[in-house]
Amino acid sequence: MPTIFDNLKLGNLTLPNRIIMAPLTRMRSKQPGNIPWELNATYYAQRASAGFILTEATQVSQQGQGYPGTPGIHSKEQVQGWKLVTDAVHKNGGHIFLQLWHVGRISHSSHQPNNSLPVAPSAIAAKNSGTFTADWKPTAILTPRALEASELPGIIQDYVNAAKNAKDAGFDGVEVHMANGYLLDEFLQDGSNKRTDEFGGSIQNRVKFPMQVLDAVINVFGKDRVGVRLSPYGTFNDMSDSNPIELFTHVIDQLNQRQIAFLDMIEPRATSAGGGDDVNENAPSTTKLFRKKFKGIFISAGGYKTEDAKKAIETDEVDAVAFGRIFIANPDLPKRIKNNAPLNPYNRATFYGGNEKGYTDYPALS
């Protein structure tokens, strides 16, 4: 029977445990330039005892940015900043993967090159969704501009450049973000993709562009160092699909053909994606629906308590569990779980933006 503290083979990496640090947007990059710096290096190094770390979502281009203070991986300065982070994590014995991100329609003109409109598969605004302008003012989501098919190869190239930069920055691998209503998820789901060309309509067509991105990233890093994040049934950022089981079964079939290192799937019970603490226990279980369909390492995230995670691993429901909020508040989370030690409570008010407070000042066990 596997336990949460057993090693796990991920490609040619051996992870020391199955407690993963989930990707967590914190909006604390150095400005101007969205550059990772010493504060970020300290934060990630504190959490290096995770099986491996998935970084906060990181934009592959300026067009891919949707929130202020989020880091990029498209300039030399950003690559050097991330090198501080990977060096610090590796020095502490950890593994770290970068999450590659293009937000698509979940942006604002103030983040875009030349103050242009955000882009998406179709010109459909996300209802009941918002972001912040570049100067941190809350704002509603704009109606995006639909991408021309001729623009898609350029976005694929942005992902290629980002993956190469991640390699140069010393990351152990990358995760392609296809979840939570951002660009690649917008292409997948028919609530946001109303295209009539080869990238819209049928499931096969809607999956085409995200898989082209994935193939391009695999060509840089190799399949053993690439994972994917998906969020079936997630409603964050106004997402929906008319047939989620058929869609995501097809997506997983495509991932199996590519033999990627891992699939990181978000439980829809935690669909607010960091926006709140509510857990909808009546939501479908993506683990139950899709775990057996994927042939590689299956990581589950969203609303797990430590005891639930242990049980899910011991009963082979999942291979590993990614923790978010409690990893923010407990830099030594694996040690605390092992010792049944109490957990620091997290302070939601300090999740996004700011400085050391609520970031690097949570205490570890003495």
Annotated catalytic residues are 182
Confirm if 238 and 203 have CB atoms less than 8 A apart. Answer: no
Radius of gyration of the chain (CA): 19
DSSP 315-332: TTS-SEEEE-HHHHH-TT
Tell me if the bond preceding 32 is cis, omega within 30° of 0.
Answer: yes
Please work out, in degrees rounded to the nearest 5, the angle formed at the alpha carbon of residue 34 by the alpha carbons of 32 and 37: 100
Q: Please give the Cα distance from 274 to 277 (Å, whole number).
A: 8
For residue 240, count other CB atoms closer than 10 A to its CB: 13
Q: Tell me which residue of 258, 270, 252 sits closest to 321, measured CA to CA.
A: 270
Output DSSP code: residue 150.
G
76-91 vs 152-168: helix axis angle to the nearest 10?
40
Residue 72 backbone phi and psi in degrees, to 5: -115, 175
Joined together, the tokens standing for residue 62 give: 């300026």
Q: Tell me which residue of 15, 91, 81 sits closest to 54, measured CA to CA.
A: 15
- Those residues whose C-beta lies under 8 Å from the C-beta of residue 294, and which sit 6 or more positions away, are 252, 255, 256, 263
